[in-house]
Chain A
Amino acid sequence: MPTVRLRDASEYPEPARRLFELSKRWFDYDFKEPPAMSRVMAWDPHFGGPHGRAMKRAMAPGEFSRGEKEMVAAAVSGANACTY
């Protein structure tokens, strides 16, 4: 059970909702509600904005493909014992 109430997408201001649309395109998936982490990051756009851009930059294909990086991310999450 989350320690905070995750707001629905409709409770966020318009700029955040535009980011949710970008998130949907990034994941190429039509979520019923934006992923929990997207909604958490949108709580403070001054943190979530640069954090999200750094994340997108890190995950973009380069010498390693997006798929290879997703697997690295899964391994890092596993090593951090994170089930999210």
Chain B
Amino acid sequence: MTGDDQWYEAAFVVGITNALNVVADGLAPTLPPLDAAAAGPEAAAVFAEARAFYGAADVPAPLAVVARDPAYLADLWGAVKRAFSERRLTRRHKTALAFAVSLTTRSTFGTAFHLADLRRLGVSESGVMEIVGVTQMFSSYTKIADTLQLTSDMADIAPADPSGVPDAGAG
């Protein structure tokens, strides 16, 4: 494991969270989630795994929507499960990231889903408010910076990057 591992993990959580949210928020109202009986045995096996992973009675809506294509569902679930599994980052931290990104992108599904999961993982209301505070403050900070078109001067405080990839914010 290198120092970048945790950032790759975070990026995958953010990406796959957005993927689930776009289907849940944008598609579920017009293409309803399927139940296990309608989805067939291959999808039902994924549903069972997802229910166990989230300790929930219901299958997350975006998975049940894409169950119309069981092979696609299985691959999507493989990515979701891998992204949220505890490795360098804890499951709790990954769920906090997913909650923050869902809130930032105004995902009704994602915000409610990951909030429930945070609570299930033992995060208190105070802990939830910590993530709400960070999300809200950085939603303010970023818009102020963008309105004034500031260039980053924070890259200086990061460790030296030996990759040689140009950093627009450096200096």
Contacts and interface: CB of A to CB of B under 8 A. Distances in A.
A contact face: mostly helix, strand, loop, or mixed: helix
Nearest to A59: B134
B contact face: mostly helix, strand, loop, or mixed: helix
Contacts of B93: 64, 68, 71
B149 A80 contact: no
24 contacts: A2-B151, A3-B149, A33-B153, A36-B150, A36-B151, A36-B153, A37-B145, A55-B137, A58-B137, A63-B126, A63-B127, A71-B6, A71-B10, A72-B135, A73-B137, A75-B14, A76-B101, A76-B104, A76-B138, A79-B101, A80-B139, A84-B141, A84-B145, A84-B151
Nearest to B100: A72
Interface in B102-158: 104-105, 123-124, 126-127, 130-131, 133-154, 156-157
Given A74-B10, A76-B104, A80-B143, A69 B134 contact: yes
Given A36-B153, A54-B133, 13 more contacts: A1-B151, A2-B151, A31-B153, A33-B153, A58-B134, A71-B10, A72-B97, A72-B100, A72-B134, A79-B101, A80-B104, A82-B143, A83-B168
B32 interface: no
Nearest to A80: B142
A39 to B, nearest CB: 10
Contacts of B136: 58
Interface residues of B, number: 46
A9 interface: no
Interface of B: 6-7, 10, 13-14, 18, 89, 93, 96-97, 100-101, 104-105, 123-124, 126-127, 130-131, 133-154, 156-157, 168-169
Contacts of A2: 148-151
B131 A31 contact: no
Contacts of B154: 35, 84
Given A75-B14, A78-B14, A62 B101 contact: no
A84 to B, nearest CB: 4
Given A72-B96, A83-B168, A77 B149 contact: no
A73 B157 contact: no
Contacts of A69: 130-131, 134
